[in-house]
Structure 1
Amino acid sequence: MVQFFSPEEEGRIIASIREAERNTSGEIRVHLEDELKGDVLEVAARTFQRLRMHETEARNGVLIFIAPQQRKFAIIGDKGINEKVPEGFWDEERDLMLQHFKTGDFAGGVCAAILKAGEKLQAYFPYQSDDENELPDDISYS
């Protein structure tokens, strides 16, 4: 795996996940795929399962999946989210990421999308005082 984000950028992304998850019971993960083999949405969905993101209690996991070499990414939410949110719910985050990506600010785009997702998910999955962090906040790679 080629190092895409610097250690400082990884730290900013993880901090953004933690900040977003202070607003919502939703669980956000970022995954980087070294070599995308197939359709980005299909591979993202398989990665979602492999990372066991579908095992959260409220089925409210969100995966930001990035294949830097192929310049593709996807944002997918679990069943609990998809049953509650309107069509095109992730469009704003996608567009926000693209805006940053076009200027080469990849970490900034991911952080902005994470924070926006946390804000929007708060309406459907507010943070609860007994919330557990069900998924790791670190970035996964394959």
Structure 2
Amino acid sequence: MKRFLTDHQIASLVEAIQSAESLSTGEICVHIDSTTDDKIAEAAFEVFKELCKDKTAEKNAVLFHVNFEQKYLTIIGDTGIHEKVHQSFWDHLHDYITSEFAKGHFYQALKSAILETGKELKKHFPANGKNHNELPDEITFS
């Protein structure tokens, strides 16, 4: 893990999550998976179900599931955000992140994606003074 993100960068990503979430009622989760199982897509959805699915009032949680070792990234949005945001947004974000990962820019790619997701959440789920944190902001690991 240390070769991809430092402890300081992880703390900074948590701050980025908090900043991005302050713009809306949406929630952003980041999970770093270090398993070597070849069923990584299924694992990503299981993490989504455990951490995010149906855990927000507006069903507007987003999960970034990353496995650096397997060079795998998936972005999963709950039904509320998925209904509002076109697939092209997620495709563009995925392409940006993976191209930056290929250059070794792991921290900056994740931070930019988190902040961009926050802007998109704000468009569809503005806080309007009712922004209580429904999910923990820390980055999870397995």
TM-score by structure 2 length? 0.90
Give the partner amino acid of 2:102: K
Equivalents in 2 of 1:20, 1:29: separation in Å?
A: 11
Q: Secondary structure at the match of 1:127?
A: coil
Give the partner amino acid of 1:135: L
Over aligned residue pairs, what C-alpha RMSD do you find?
A: 1.6
The unaligned stretches of length 5 or more in structure 1 are none
Q: Do structure 1's residue 125 and structure 2's residue 129 form an aligned pair?
A: no
- 1:78 positional shift: 0.2
1:19-59 Cα distance to aligned partner (Å, 9 max, x none): 11111211001001111434443321110111244211100
- 1:113 positional shift: 0.4
Equivalents in 2 of 1:88, 1:112: separation in Å?
A: 17
Assess, with a 3 A threshold, how the Cα gap between structure 1 residues 36 and 64 changes in structure 2: closer, same or farther: farther
Equivalents in 1 of 2:8, 2:53: separation in Å?
A: 26
Counterpart of 1:139 in structure 2 is: 139
Counterpart of 1:25 in structure 2 is: 25
Return 70-79 or 4-13, whichever deviates more: 4-13
Counterpart of 2:16 in structure 1 is: 16
Contact kept in structure 2, 1:23 and 1:118, CA below 8 Å: yes
Counterpart of 2:108 in structure 1 is: 108
How many residues are treated as equivalent by the alignment?
Answer: 141
TM-score by structure 1 length? 0.90
Which residues in structure 2 correspond to 1:36-75 (within 5 Å)?
Answer: 36-75=36-75
Q: Secondary structure at the match of 1:16?
A: helix
Contact kept in structure 2, 1:96 and 1:112, CA below 8 Å: no
Q: Secondary structure at the match of 2:130?
A: coil
Q: Secondary structure at the match of 1:65?
A: strand
Equivalents in 1 of 2:44, 2:110: separation in Å?
A: 16
Counterpart of 2:80 in structure 1 is: 80
- 1:94 positional shift: 1.1
Equivalents in 1 of 2:79, 2:41: separation in Å?
A: 15
Equivalents in 1 of 2:138, 2:53: separation in Å?
A: 13
Return 46-55 or 5-14, whichever deviates more: 46-55
